[in-house]
Structure 1
Amino acid sequence: MTKFYFDGQGVDARPDETVLDALLREGHPVNYSCKKGRCKTCLVQHLEGELMAGAQRGLTSRLKENHYLCSCQCRPTQGLKLKSVLAQDLFIPAKLYSKEYLSDSVVKLKIEAAEKIEHKAGQHINLRRFDGLTRSYSITNGAYSEFIELHVRRKYNGQFSDWLFNHASIGENILIQGPWGDCCYSTDFVDDTLILIGSGTGLGSVYGIARDALVSGHRGEIYLYHGARNFEELYQHSTLLKMMMEYRNFTYQACIESDNEGEEHLSGRVLQGDPFDVAMSRHPFDRSIPCDSQNRFYLCGEPSFVSKGQETIFLNGTPLDRVHVLSFDYKDLRSRARD
């Protein structure tokens, strides 16, 4: 056992436990979500004691200077002293400005922050409601808007997403933290071929990245692939078809797992199949040839989809700095842990 201290209370950590694991096991009400150091909802503050490498990985210089760390990435050391973080230290006030239902399960939210926040599509923010419950959501618009837009899917057994979808009212006061992440467009990529692949509401991020590129005057080709379970979940289908008509260098392809209404929706812009497989068939590469391609990939969506795609692209010769990813790592809502 390794003994550390949290808000003055001693905590005995078992071998291979993180600080977060030990706190949760002993019943401390610590916010967390992804457990991978991405969402930043489990931040605590370092007071004394040795910090193992990696505890502050991915944090901004300001957060590091103020001694914050991710409890899910911190391995306890003997005598380590930590304290919980007050919401007002890391979050700023905001309110829900508008809600627009994009489908039976997806809602678009506009968040108005109390102060100016520089943000880009492909980053994410943390939302904190009145009772302290906190979740991460990806941003779907760039800084050209005064609002932060989010596409939120109502998830089965999801406390926060159900609240946002069914109960949160216009004008609702919330707190926000961030933004985080770098799965974004940069004007340095202006001549690259952008291949954007999103599954589910990962579409919101790649759609926003495409808009950022087009608004910035992107000169290269832009290809966007959206994967959904059925035609009804292609919730931006008409909007993306209109974008194709407006911008000559933008191409959109929808991919569905199944078509519940037979073949009537299957056409050149709606195919059955995995969006990653369809994209790779249209943008082939050969790992035996040195990569001098201008292709730049963006993958957004469920963790298994993103990690598999990132690995495949990298192993076939594309440098990692040309593969941008945003993985939707959710809090585990199962009543029993997976074996």
Structure 2
Amino acid sequence: MPEITHQGMTWTVATGTNLLDALNGAGLNVPHSCRAGSCHVCLVRCLDGEPDDAHPEALDPARRLEGWRLACQCSVSENLSVAVFDPAREGLPAHVQGLDWLSEHVLRLRLIPERPLRYHAGQHVLLWSANGLARPYSLASIPFDERWLEFHIDCARPGAFSNVARSLAKGDQLMLGQLHAGALRYDPDWQSRPLLLMAAGTGLAPLWGVLREALRQGHEGPIRLIHVCRVHSYLQAALADLAEQHANLSVEMIVREQLAGRLQALRVTSRHEMALICGGSDFVDACSKRMFLAGLPRGQILGDAFITRQVEG
């Protein structure tokens, strides 16, 4: 049976054992969230040996060449020597610059990294708390106009990281881990294309960044934004201001109970339209299916699904 070595400790596992399970079974407490290769929380570095990787395309080639793997997607078939991601060594320190409530349940967190972080609107990044808790959050900021990194954290339900966020104070330090591209972005080649942005809850955060980046670059085509919310959009005033300033932007806010009917009535405005969708997996799946049935090619439907994880008992 293959052996795993980590910092001088070696143990045996059955062939085919999931690498994340093998590491946590040995007491290493590797953080994880989605177990689907999307969140990138469970990064480990293979120093010797190679696991079987079920989702190699989840990491960019440069990271893979450095030996990084997503433990949840790997199984053990030979001896491995690994190092888990250490935010103190490999992360980027960032300090809390601002905390304010955008609504009863949505906390806006602004961080100032100790050195500039290169990113584009729509990406997400791992946030590490002081006690080693890691979760991926989408960036709501845009890199050219804002020196802080902005995140919108849904605190409506108990969550391990949202509970940490509630207790933060200005000046506190978090660590930034892996930056991940995801599917959401603004491409300057889309400048004359219609855009449809669909968000549920804090799925609005990355699309808030993408929208402002599109407008910053002088997007010429029409932009429709639909936000599905509990009562009203937590960015209602800011979105209304943008719509007043840009004649090509229309904003629609609907409550969750209206979603099924609104999707049924939704039509594409052009075969060239780009649809960007963000929210829970059910929401992203339903909207993506509707836009495909309405006539958009799959390559023009870009979706990022949030992973929701409750407090672990």
Please indicate, yes or no, whether the TM-score normalized by the shorter chain is above 0.5. yes
Q: Please give the residue correspondences for 1:88-127 in structure 2 after superposition, counting only pairs within 5 Å.
A: 88-127=88-127
Contact residue 56 and residue 68 of structure 1 kept, 8 A: no
Distance in 2 between the 1:280 and 1:112 partners?
43
Q: Residues 153, 76 of structure 1: CA spacing in aligned structure 2 closer, same or farther, 3 A cutoff?
A: same
2:142 alignment counterpart: 142
Shift of 1:153: 0.9
1:70 alignment counterpart: 70
Tell me which amino acid in the other structure corresponds to 1:189.
W
Shift of 1:125: 0.8
| TM-score normalised to structure 2 length | 0.90
Contact residue 120 and residue 141 of structure 1 kept, 8 A: no
Shift of 1:25: 4.1
Tell me which amino acid in the other structure corresponds to 2:111.
I
1:260 alignment counterpart: none
Tell me which amino acid in the other structure corresponds to 1:252.
V
1:247 alignment counterpart: 246
Shift of 1:34: 1.6
Shift of 1:26: 4.5
Shift of 1:70: 0.4
Contact residue 126 and residue 134 of structure 1 kept, 8 A: yes
Q: Is the deviation greater in 30-39 or in 85-94?
A: 85-94
Tell me which amino acid in the other structure corresponds to 1:43.
L
Distance in 1 between the 2:10 and 2:212 partners?
49
Q: What are the Cα deviations for residues 154-185 of structure 1, in whole angstroms up to 9, with x where unaligned?
A: 15231211221x21010111110232124111
2:311 counterpart of 1:326: no
Distance in 2 between the 1:183 and 1:329 partners?
16
Q: What are the Cα deviations for residues 75-133 of structure 1, in whole angstroms up to 9, with x where unaligned?
A: 22132332223224431111111112101111111111111112223110111121111
1:261 alignment counterpart: none
Distance in 1 between the 2:207 and 2:50 partners?
41
Q: Residues 224, 33 of structure 1: CA spacing in aligned structure 2 closer, same or farther, 3 A cutoff?
A: same
SS at 1:10's partner residue?
strand
Q: Is the deviation greater in 45-54 or in 320-329?
A: 45-54
1:172 alignment counterpart: 172
- The alignment yields a C-alpha RMSD, in angstroms, of 2.3
Distance in 2 between the 1:97 and 1:167 partners?
14
Contact residue 2 and residue 15 of structure 2 kept, 8 A: no
SS at 1:273's partner residue?
helix
Tell me which amino acid in the other structure corresponds to 2:19.
V
Contact residue 159 and residue 309 of structure 2 kept, 8 A: no
SS at 2:39's partner residue?
coil
2:273 counterpart of 1:273: no
Q: Please give the residue correspondences for 1:227-246 in structure 2 after superposition, counting only pairs within 5 Å.
A: 227-231=228-232, 234-246=233-245
Q: Residues 185, 151 of structure 1: CA spacing in aligned structure 2 closer, same or farther, 3 A cutoff?
A: same
Q: Please give the residue correspondences for 1:1-339 in structure 2 after superposition, counting only pairs within 5 Å.
A: 3-7=2-6, 8-13=9-14, 17-54=17-54, 56-144=56-144, 145-164=146-165, 166-181=166-181, 182-231=183-232, 234-257=233-256, 273-274=258-259, 278=262, 281-284=265-268, 293-314=271-292, 317-331=295-309, 333=311, 335=313
Contact residue 42 and residue 70 of structure 2 kept, 8 A: yes
Q: What are the Cα deviations for residues 41-70 of structure 1, in whole angstroms up to 9, with x where unaligned?
A: 101111222332445432233322210100
Contact residue 32 and residue 331 of structure 1 kept, 8 A: no
The answer for unaligned runs of 5 or more in structure 2 is: none
1:265 alignment counterpart: none
Distance in 1 between the 2:90 and 2:61 partners?
14
Distance in 1 between the 2:277 and 2:48 partners?
39
Contact residue 55 and residue 69 of structure 1 kept, 8 A: no
% identical aligned pairs: 24
Contact residue 13 and residue 19 of structure 1 kept, 8 A: no
SS at 1:227's partner residue?
strand
Shift of 1:324: 1.4
Tell me which amino acid in the other structure corresponds to 2:10.
Q
Aligned residues, how many?
Answer: 309
Contact residue 106 and residue 156 of structure 2 kept, 8 A: no
The answer for unaligned runs of 5 or more in structure 1 is: 258-271, 286-291
Tell me which amino acid in the other structure corresponds to 2:275.
F
Shift of 1:23: 2.9
Q: Is the deviation greater in 106-115 or in 320-329?
A: 320-329
Distance in 1 between the 2:27 and 2:258 partners?
44
Tell me which amino acid in the other structure corresponds to 1:322.
Q
SS at 1:29's partner residue?
coil
Contact residue 6 and residue 84 of structure 1 kept, 8 A: no
SS at 1:99's partner residue?
strand
Q: Residues 330, 188 of structure 1: CA spacing in aligned structure 2 closer, same or farther, 3 A cutoff?
A: same
